A and B are shown apart, each in its own frame.
Chain A
Amino acid sequence: AQSVTQLGSHVSVSEGALVLLRCNYSSSVPPYLFWYVQYPNQGLQLLLKYTSAATLVKGINGFEAEFKKSETSFHLTKPSAHMSDAAEYFCAVSDSGGGADGLTFGKGTHLIIQP
């Protein structure tokens, strides 16, 4: 069985500050890992994905995430927060590349950007 834990249901940072959203996973096989973003009243949009290539993955809008097997973590970072980054962020894990076997989502982290 696979599972995802996102630490902190709400994270608040100042505009221009570092964004760090934490995600830890468990999986019985080498995992595929994803970060999704959901803006208010919209569906989820893929930010980035890890599929066993480079451990540092770059995504859209300046976000990146690092896969650390020893820590079973896949934290999401952005060097400088913008107001437009305010959204809900979901980490997800799959043991099949996110295909027909399904994707297990974390409960989400709401990112608040303070002016």
Chain B
Amino acid sequence: NAGVTQTPKFQVLKTGQSMTLQCAQDMNHNSMYWYRQDPGMGLRLIYYSASEGTTDKGEVPNGYNVSRLNKREFSLRLESAAPSQTSVYFCASTSAGTGRFFGPGTRLTVL
């Protein structure tokens, strides 16, 4: 099992550019999440998907959109990147009774 995989690992964007962060899990988990991690802020939830076909806003959803493509995949899109979106982005998945499994992260810099 690969667990939770994320692509790309690193990305540099210019202000106003768009991009999609990809996440996939092979553990048959129902729920998937996108977080951002900033120094001194811990992890903050951007969006989550409780099950295939549903998505909900988290604590900091502005500037982002998500798609739960199927049970395995949950993508995060930045339509018009801003320097404030420079961060490390983590995808995670879980099912009832399991802990939350995290991907290795995507380090995004917006110039």
Contact = CB atoms under 8 A, between A and B. Distances in A.
Interface of A: 9, 34, 36, 41-46, 49, 90, 97-100, 102-103, 105-108
For the residues of A in contact with B, the DSSP-based class is loop
B100 A46 contact: yes
> Which A-B residue pairs are the 8 nearest by beta carbons?
A100-B50, A43-B102, A46-B99, A107-B42, A44-B102, A105-B42, A105-B43, A100-B31
Given A42-B104, A42-B105, A100 B43 contact: no
Range for the number of chain B residues in contact with chain A: 20 to 34
B28 interface: no
Interface in B61-97: 90, 92, 94-97
B10 to A, nearest CB: 11
Interface in B21-46: 30-31, 33, 40-45
Contact of A107 (B41, B45, B48, B104): B41
B17 interface: no
B44 to A, nearest CB: 8
Given A99-B95, A105-B43, A107-B42, 7 more contacts: A34-B99, A98-B94, A100-B51, A102-B48, A102-B58, A103-B100, A105-B42
Contacts of A99: 31, 50, 94-96
A42 to B, nearest CB: 6
A36 B101 CA distance: 10
